[in-house]
Amino acid sequence: MIRLENIQRRYVSDEVETTALADINLDVAAGEFVAIMGPSGCGKSTLLNTLGTVDRPTAGRYLFGDRDLVALNEAELARFRAMTLGFVFQSFNLIDELTIAENVELGLIYRKDAGGDRKGRVAAAMDRVGISHRARHYPHQLSGGQQQRAAIARAIVGEPKLILADEPTGNLDTENGQQVMDILTSLNADGATIIMVTHSPSHADIARRRIDMLDGRIVASLARAI
């Protein structure tokens, strides 16, 4: 489903050049659950942002299915993201002024095909992550674990092909972190492809493949025996 070929990402500021991604080659098949690990600054977020098309590589090719994403303009990429991707962040990124149900509905807002049964789809997504009883509450009225589950509902309400999660358990205690991992595991079992950055070795073990990064490169890729 995904192929990265010789992806590079360099930043230049004040004449200092940083190579965030040196030479990334990566294939991810539909239905995989991949964890990305590595020390701070090794390029994990840049890789996830590249996969999410919110950061453009300075060289290399990004193929998604049979499409070459590097060739798309910003409007085409925005549409691709809305139709194909779901994002989950460490800090939840819910909108404080909107209720949980309204936040979840944001996941449908740029989807043309979501016309008819929007409320039904929002209700189903909230039910899936166990926050239906919080639909009319505002984010600050929820615990961190509940907020992250709401953010996952927003990510999945449009039924994305690929879920990108950047340290989704990083701000959660052990129990809430495990709940989030259980939800991701269940979504993967139902066919969602997931790529997740994590600092937790035990959470990486839950994924079916673990990729280790160092200095902008992939230095190991290990599939778990099932």
Among 2, 4, 7, 20, binds ligand ADP (CB under 6 A): 20
How many other C-beta atoms can be found within 10 angstroms of the C-beta atom of residue 146?
A: 21
SS3 label, residue 222: strand
Nearer to ligand ADP, 41 or 191 (CB): 41
The two beta strands, 59-64 and 217-223, are: unpaired
Structure tokens, 56? 């453009």
Q: Does 40 bind ligand ADP (CB under 6 A)?
A: yes
Query: Count residues contacting ligand ADP (CB under 6 A)?
Result: 12
Interface stretch with ligand ADP, choices 42-50, 74-82, 114-122, 157-165 (CB under 6 A)? 42-50
Contact 185, 165 (CB under 8 A): no
User: Rounded CA gap, 202 and 60, in Å?
Assistant: 32
Q: Does 34 bind ligand ADP (CB under 6 A)?
A: no
**Shortest spacing between CB 90 and ligand ADP, in angstroms:** 7
User: Which positions from 125 to 164 touch ligand ADP by CB under 6 A, shown as an x/- string?
Assistant: ----------------------------------------
Element of type H or E holding 163: strand 162-166
User: Rounded CA gap, 78 and 149, in Å?
Assistant: 24
Q: Does 46 bind ligand ADP (CB under 6 A)?
A: yes
Among 8, 45, 132, 200, binds ligand ADP (CB under 6 A): 45
Q: Does 41 bind ligand ADP (CB under 6 A)?
A: yes
User: Rounded CA gap, 145 and 173, in Å?
Assistant: 8
For residue 35, which amino acid is it? Answer: A
**Under the rule (CB under 6 A), what is the footprint of ligand ADP?**
11, 13, 18, 20, 38, 40-46
